[in-house]
Structure 1
Amino acid sequence: MQFKQLFIQAGAACLLAAMQFSSAQANPVASPVNLPGTAIIIGGALKYDNDAVWKRIVDAAGGPGARFAVFATAAANPERSAAQIINALNAQGARAEAIPVAPRLQGVELQANLNDPALLAKVAAAQGVFFSGGAQELIVDTLQPGGEPTEMLKAIWSVFKRGGVVAGTSAGAAIMSTTMFRDAQDALQVMKGDLRRGKEIDRGLGFVGPNLFIDQHFLKRGRIGRMLPLMQAEGYTLGLGVEENSAALLRGDELEVLGAKGVLLVDLSQASSTPKLAGFNIRNAQLSFLDRGDRHNFTSGLTTPSAAKLAGHAIDPAAAGFKPFFGNQPFFLDILGDTTILNAMSHLLDSPHAELLGVAFNGSSKSTDAQADLGFEFRLHKGEGSRGWFSGAMGGEDYTVLRLRLDVQPVLIKRPFYTPIGQAQSSAR
């Protein structure tokens, strides 16, 4: 058994080495992401017992004793939210303190606190800053009204620029890129054109730089549907969708995945569209799912799977003797459903098929949507470099999936979408 395990690991290491050579040759350009500090982007619904994330937040700021400024600016109940975050950080050895800057905080003068010298000094002296979840528009409207940074935001930036940590969950993750979703709960409506500045989208705070777009609650809420139109409209070539109870740790040009699940990396550098076609469309978007413990380098383009994945099963559909696990070719009726895009990607990679199809549409016949018959076909297909890993060591069926392609085109959905058999037989008489 020991010999067999060593043989499997050696084979995986050889495959990884081959990928390193290929990736480095294919990406001889400056990194699109190179941060001065550490950004820890949490996809929301972070459990307070998720030590894998909370400990890394504190460790990244210097370990036990690190001072954190906690901003519950987005929260509906700032006092409660700040207290919970402080308890979680302090349980890992931090010295966290709430900064009373929140529109919904009772009994404080918001504008006075934004310019209070003592609070500004406290934030500037911290090793880390943490933004709570809630409504991200409250963060940008408070700290960056009209697009102009307040003195408090400048103090936060000073922490980041000298190498400190800026972390945020849910709303606190949304503000990390230069453009963010302000209020766009319906991904399908974004695909249909609801993408107005000041409504669905707005300025973010930009901690991850101008080249990377961030979205959260990503797999749970099917937000690939809203990310693609925004990236296309705003000119982003890289997008990072972070799942719930999971985190992306970005330092320099390196990404590390933490927590319960993972992140979806979207690359539009080789994508195209047909402007004359009515409705959102895109061809050759590249999707990669990075699971917990995986790492990615934005300069080389190299993804390094976790030790658990390397000890598991390497999947290369182009390799001689490839033995896929799945044999069927499902059709996904709700590609924007809970985790459906990842399920489809994993299934396609570990199958003999070249492509899988799915659709996104409004299934309600009583919809008030003026474009109720408009839907979208999602075509996932394999391409050069499509490969990955599987592991059952973490208690589930966990995949890392690299470089699948995605085409999306608008389609018309006939209504009713189906007819009960009895009704159809009666109509035929």
Structure 2
Amino acid sequence: MTATAQTLATPPEEPGEARAPLPAAKGSLVIIGGGLRADNADVWQKIVSLAGGKGARIAVFPSASGTPERAAATSIAYLKKYGAEPFAVPVAQRLANSDYRKAADDAALAEKIRKADGVYFAGGDQARITQALIRENGTRTRALEAIWDLYRRGGVVAGTSAGAAIMSSTMFYRPDAILAMLRGGVRDGQEIAPGLGFIGDDVFVDQHLLVRGRFARMIPVMLAKNYKLGLGVDEDSAMVINAQREVEVIGYTGALLMDLSLAVTDTSKPDFNVSNVRISYLDRGDKFNIITQSYTPSPDKAGGRIDPARTALRGPVFSNDILGNNAVVNIMERLIDSDQNEAIGIASGNPRSTAPEVGFEFRFTKTPETVGYISSTVEAYSVLNVRLDIRPIDIPRPLYKYR
């Protein structure tokens, strides 16, 4: 195995378990984790480049926004800055003086979308996107069919935040807080609902991932809907996925890969639990092939595979708030360059509550398949195949008393 092609540890599916991908499309996806800044040239230029470069026609959907006029104007200004010729698509529930259902089935508008080179979904509430583009009887509107036609022939479909959530066939709909979902589970039509499925039926997608600790909420959804693979991307960052289903991470930070192929739960226990999840952190510049399950580090990490016998850190690795901002990546990075074999993260609620509560222990363990890479230019890591076990724990309350 060379340093530039690491196969992640994923065994073949049992017959009947695999989720079949949708028919192949020739286009590309740019799935952005939200918070995309105007000066993030890597992401904006990638969208324009995949749409054909300077002069590319990009249909901007502000459907998710509570202020669609403003969202469309802002997105159009950014895309123009990077050379595109974008236009607004007036299909949005909150758009003044407009019937979004009628607009979504307007034949002339659908043809204009179909002839574009790309589509861009602005952020907001993903439920507004699906409600605008899917008829009440569950069929696709003309506008949505036009997007699919564009994508199949080779166009780019990009989306940020809510525009990322719709990329998988299941999306978060009205989600509770993360701890509440771990304690109470997920329900169709409540916490989750159908997305638009551009990435295929076999991969689950989430966004705002590291900043908001959302990796933990991906797992119960994936278990409930039988996803074996999940991709979650952080803010101001993007996953670019081509027709060969090769994923490249670009932008500010990175993405998490969740592999539940070997995961098991103990159904005899009343509270949420899972063992043997495989979690990987893909930093910007890294690549991952969904079909072959192979990983290629960014050029600055190509010769930087970490030697487990020559780690830099010593002592226990622990986080008392694993759902905090970037906590999961921090603990994985510290573990991969540590003399320790495992790390513990805790998730709990209000420390001043008076009643005991159920919290969760997140145990990260190195296995023979665990691999880490470090950049030759900056202190940046990529971490592959860490085992993650989650189990419920009793949290006494109050957690502390003043002396």
Q: CA deviation at 1:385?
A: 1.7
Q: Which one-letter code corresponds to 2:183 in the other structure?
A: K
Paired residue for 1:59, among 40, 49, 60?
49
Q: What secondary structure is seen at the aligned counterpart in 2 of 1:97?
A: strand
What residue is the counterpart of 2:281 in the other structure?
289
What residue is the counterpart of 1:83 in the other structure?
73
User: 1:190–1:225: 8 Å Cα contact kept in structure 2?
Assistant: no
User: 1:66–1:93: 8 Å Cα contact kept in structure 2?
Assistant: yes
Paired residue for 2:175, among 184, 188, 194?
184
Q: CA deviation at 1:111?
A: 2.4
Q: CA deviation at 1:27?
A: 6.6
Q: Which one-letter code corresponds to 1:39 in the other structure?
A: L
Q: What secondary structure is seen at the aligned counterpart in 2 of 1:247?
A: strand
What residue is the counterpart of 2:357 in the other structure?
373
Give the alignment's TM-score, normalised by structure 2.
0.93
* 1:330 pairs with 2:317: yes
Paired residue for 2:391, among 409, 413, 416?
409
* 1:238 pairs with 2:220: no
* 1:198 pairs with 2:186: no
The 5 Å alignment of 1:152-167 reads: 152-167=143-158
Q: CA deviation at 1:377?
A: 0.6
Find the aligned partners of 1:257 and 1:25 in 2 and give their Cα distance: 21
Find the aligned partners of 1:295 and 1:62 in 2 and give their Cα distance: 22
What residue is the counterpart of 1:127 in the other structure?
117
The 5 Å alignment of 1:16-415 reads: 16=3, 19-20=5-6, 35-36=24-25, 37-146=27-136, 147-251=138-242, 252-310=244-302, 313-317=304-308, 322-366=309-353, 373-391=357-375, 393-394=377-378, 397-415=379-397
Find the aligned partners of 2:121 and 2:290 in 1 and give their Cα distance: 25
Find the aligned partners of 2:291 and 2:226 in 1 and give their Cα distance: 19
User: 2:171–2:205: 8 Å Cα contact kept in structure 1?
Assistant: yes
Give every structure 1 segment of 4 or more consecutive aligned residues whose post-TM-superposition deviation is greater than 3 Å.
22-35, 364-367
Q: CA offsets per residue over residues 271-305 of structure 1, 9 Å max, x none?
A: 11101111111101001111111111122221111
Find the aligned partners of 1:42 and 1:187 in 2 and give their Cα distance: 21
Q: Which one-letter code corresponds to 2:366 in the other structure?
A: K
Find the aligned partners of 1:278 and 1:31 in 2 and give their Cα distance: 28
Find the aligned partners of 1:404 and 1:188 in 2 and give their Cα distance: 22
Q: CA offsets per residue over residues 351-371 of structure 1, 9 Å max, x none?
A: 01110111111124348xxx9
Find the aligned partners of 1:127 and 1:106 in 2 and give their Cα distance: 27
Which structure has the larger Rg?
A: 1
User: 1:294–1:305: 8 Å Cα contact kept in structure 2?
Assistant: yes
Q: Which one-letter code corresponds to 1:176 in the other structure?
A: M
Q: Which one-letter code corresponds to 2:89 in the other structure?
A: I
User: 1:33–1:298: 8 Å Cα contact kept in structure 2?
Assistant: no
Specify which structure has the higher proportion of helix: 1
Q: What secondary structure is seen at the aligned counterpart in 1 of 2:184?
A: coil
Q: CA deviation at 1:225?
A: 1.6
Give the gaps of 5 or more residues in structure 2. none
Shift in alpha-carbon separation, 1:171–1:25, aligned structure 2, 3 A: closer
User: 2:360–2:392: 8 Å Cα contact kept in structure 1?
Assistant: yes
Identity of aligned residues (%): 43
Q: What secondary structure is seen at the aligned counterpart in 1 of 2:146?
A: helix
What residue is the counterpart of 1:9 in the other structure?
none
Find the aligned partners of 2:135 and 2:356 in 1 and give their Cα distance: 36
Find the aligned partners of 2:8 and 2:89 in 1 and give their Cα distance: 44
Q: CA deviation at 1:414?
A: 0.9
Find the aligned partners of 1:309 and 1:302 in 2 and give their Cα distance: 16
Find the aligned partners of 2:121 and 2:252 in 1 and give their Cα distance: 20
Give the alignment's TM-score, normalised by structure 1.
0.88
Q: CA deviation at 1:316?
A: 3.6
Find the aligned partners of 1:415 and 1:192 in 2 and give their Cα distance: 17
Shift in alpha-carbon separation, 1:232–1:316, aligned structure 2, 3 A: farther
Q: CA offsets per residue over residues 207-240 of structure 1, 9 Å max, x none?
A: 0110000000000000012111100111000000
Q: CA deviation at 1:384?
A: 2.3
Q: Which one-letter code corresponds to 2:260 in the other structure?
A: L
Q: CA deviation at 1:145?
A: 3.7
Q: What secondary structure is seen at the aligned counterpart in 2 of 1:139?
A: helix
> RMSD of the TM alignment (CA)?
2.2
User: 2:356–2:396: 8 Å Cα contact kept in structure 1?
Assistant: no
Find the aligned partners of 2:46 and 2:12 in 1 and give their Cα distance: 30
Find the aligned partners of 2:333 and 2:182 in 1 and give their Cα distance: 24
What residue is the counterpart of 1:3 in the other structure?
none
Shift in alpha-carbon separation, 1:32–1:111, aligned structure 2, 3 A: closer
Say which is worse superposed, 355-364 or 336-345, in terms of deviation: 355-364
Shift in alpha-carbon separation, 1:402–1:31, aligned structure 2, 3 A: farther
Q: CA deviation at 1:330?
A: 2.9
User: 1:183–1:200: 8 Å Cα contact kept in structure 2?
Assistant: yes
Q: CA deviation at 1:419?
A: 2.5
Q: Which one-letter code corresponds to 2:339 in the other structure?
A: P
How many residue pairs get aligned? The number is 396
Q: What secondary structure is seen at the aligned counterpart in 2 of 1:271?
A: coil
Find the aligned partners of 1:83 and 1:374 in 2 and give their Cα distance: 46
